[in-house]
Amino acid sequence: MKFYNLKNHNEQLSFSQAVKVGLGSQQGLFFPLHLPEFELRDIDMMLEMDFLNRSSKILSVYTGNEIKPNNMRMLLKKAFSFPAIVKPVKENISCLELFHGPTLAFKDFGARFMASVLAYLNNNCATVLIATSGDTGAAVAHAFYGMHNIRVVILYPQGKISSLQEKLFCTLGKNIDTIAIKGDFDSCQTLVKQAFDDKLLREKINLNSANSINISRLLAQICYYFEGVAQLPKEKRNQLVISVPSGNFGNLTAGLLAKSLGLPIKRFIFSTNSNDTVPRFLSTGKWLPKATVATLSNAMDISNPNNWVRIEELFRRKTWSLSELSYSSVSDKMTNSTLMEMADIGYISEPHAATAYYALINNLKKEEYGLFIGTAHPAKFQDRIEPIVGKQLNPPEQLEKRKNLPLLSYTMSANFDLLKNFLLKQDQ
C-alpha cells in the first residue's frame, strides 16, 4: 500500500520508503492511502488466531508484497517476543497490559517492529534521531542496540524522566548515544524537527526517525488492540469501550485504525494529564498549546501532540465525528487518589494507566465493558508509587540489571547548532 504525506498529498511512498524516511517534506506525517475493512466473518476468524499469525495478517494489509507473509511472520516472531495480557481489575473493567517487553512499556511493540523492518530492508548506515518523554528512548535503544551501521541518538528532557527510566536506556553505550537536554520534551521534539529540516544533516548522516511519527511503529500498535479483544469473553465484545492514556496520541491513533479495520470497539475514551491541549481543543474548537508542565505521568507531558493530525484525517475520511470521543484531563491529585483506589481493589498500577482508568470510571455506562491500556510497568515508577500504595514493588529483572550502572549521557542546552555539531562530529 502507498502512504501519503498529510502536508502534501502528492508525495506518496511505499511502506518501505515511508519507514526509511520517517517524515515527509514540510515535516508531514505519512498516512495510509487506503482504509480497508475486514468482513465480519474475517474478524471472527482472526480473533481465533494466535497473536503472531493474526498480527501478520493485519500488517500484511499495509505492507502488501513488500514483505512476504512468511517473512512477516518471522520478523514478528522476533519483534513481538513477549505477550500482551488482559487482566481483570473489577467486574466490568480490565487492563490490557502492554508492559511485559524488554523495556517494560508498550513502546517495545512499535520500536522492535520498526528495528526488525529496517534490518529486513537492509537499511544500514543510518542515524536514528529521536526525542523521548521517557519510554520511547528505552524501547528504541534496546530495539536497535548492537545493530551494525545504525547509530541511535536520543534526546530527553534533563531531570524530567524517572531515574529508573533513565537507567534503562542511558547505560547501554555502543551504538546508542543519549543526550540530556536542558529543556522540556517539546523542546527536544523541536530539535528533532529542526534536524529533519536541515538539508546538510539529512544528506550527510542519512537521518531517520523512530518517534511515533514513523508509520511502522503506528501500524505495529494496531495488533495489540486485536489481541486485547481476542482475550475478552465473547459476550463483552459488543459493548467494548477502550480508554487510552495519551501524550503524543500514537497509541490512540492505532486503536482507531484497528476500529477502522472492523475490530468491534464501540467507542474510545482518552485521558491526558494537565497537559490538556486536545481536551481543550475538543471543547472549544481552539488549538492553543500552553507551556508543558511536569506531572506524575511524565511520558504524557506533551502539549503539542504530533499524531493528532492523523486522528483528524482518519475521522475526516471515515466521516466519523470527533464528538464520539470522550476524554478526561486528570490532575496529579486525581491520579494519586486513583492509584490508591486501584490498590484498594487489589490492582497496583502506575500514573499513566491510572489516568485512563479514571477517565473510564467517569465515562463508562452501565451496559458497557471497559478496557484501559496499561502502558508501563508500575516498577518503572517505583519511587513514586511505593509511597502512594504503601507497599514495596518487586522490580522485574529488566530493571534490576541496569539500576546500578553508571549513566553515559551527554548534557546539552536546547540549541540546534550544538546538536548539529554533535551529530556531524561523532559521525566521522
Ligand X SMILES: *Cc1c(COP(=O)(O)O)cnc(C)c1O
Kindly list the residues in this chain that would bind ligand X in the complex (CB under 6 A).
Answer: 105, 107, 134-135, 212, 245-251, 299-300, 352, 375-376
CA dihedral 99, 108, 141, 411 (to 10 degrees): -60
Q: Minimum CB separation from ligand X for residue 318, in Å?
A: 20
Q: Would strands 126-131 and 93-97 be described as parallel, antiparallel, or unpaired?
A: unpaired
Helices (H) then strands (E): counts for the chain = 18, 14
* Closer to ligand X by Cβ: residue 178 or 206: 178
The Cα 315–Cα 16 span in angstroms is 25
Q: Is 13 helix (H, G, I), strand (E, B) or coil?
A: strand
* Closer to ligand X by Cβ: residue 116 or 212: 212
Q: Minimum CB separation from ligand X for residue 206, in Å?
A: 26
The per-residue DSSP string of 61-128 comes to: HHHGGGS-HHHHHHHHHHHT-S--EEEEEETTEEEEE---STTSBTHHHHHHHHHHHHHHTT--SEEE
* Closer to ligand X by Cβ: residue 119 or 342: 342
Q: Minimum CB separation from ligand X for residue 245, in Å?
A: 5
299 DSSP 8-state letter: G
* Closer to ligand X by Cβ: residue 97 or 135: 135
Long-range CB pairs of 32-38 (<8 Å, 24+ gap) are: 32/1, 32/3, 32/62, 32/257, 33/1, 33/2, 33/3, 33/4, 34/1, 35/260, 35/314, 35/317, 35/318, 36/61, 36/261, 37/260, 37/261, 37/262, 38/261, 38/262
Cell of 157: 528532557
The Cα 49–Cα 33 span in angstroms is 27
Residue found under cell 471472527: 44
Q: Is 35 helix (H, G, I), strand (E, B) or coil?
A: coil
* Closer to ligand X by Cβ: residue 103 or 260: 103
Q: Minimum CB separation from ligand X for residue 97, in Å?
A: 12
Cell of 159: 531531570
**Half-sphere exposure of residue 268: CA atoms within 13 angstroms, side-chain side:** 26
Q: Minimum CB separation from ligand X for residue 168, in Å?
A: 12
* Closer to ligand X by Cβ: residue 97 or 177: 97
The Cα 170–Cα 161 span in angstroms is 12
Q: Minimum CB separation from ligand X for residue 253, in Å?
A: 8
* Closer to ligand X by Cβ: residue 74 or 294: 294
Which residues neighbour 333 within 8 Å (Cβ) at sequence distance 6 or greater? none
208 DSSP 8-state letter: E
Q: Minimum CB separation from ligand X for residue 352, in Å?
A: 3
The rounded Cα 84 to chain-centroid distance in angstroms is 14
Q: Minimum CB separation from ligand X for residue 385, in Å?
A: 13
Q: Minimum CB separation from ligand X for residue 275, in Å?
A: 11
Cell of 236: 463483552
* Closer to ligand X by Cβ: residue 66 or 166: 166
The Cα 387–Cα 98 span in angstroms is 24
* Closer to ligand X by Cβ: residue 237 or 310: 310
Measuring CA to CA, which residue among 250, 180, 243, 179 is closest to residue 215?
Answer: 250
* Closer to ligand X by Cβ: residue 20 or 310: 310
* Closer to ligand X by Cβ: residue 17 or 304: 304
Q: Minimum CB separation from ligand X for residue 13, in Å?
A: 22
Angle at 42 between CA 114 and CA 254, to 5 degrees: 35
Q: Minimum CB separation from ligand X for residue 70, in Å?
A: 30
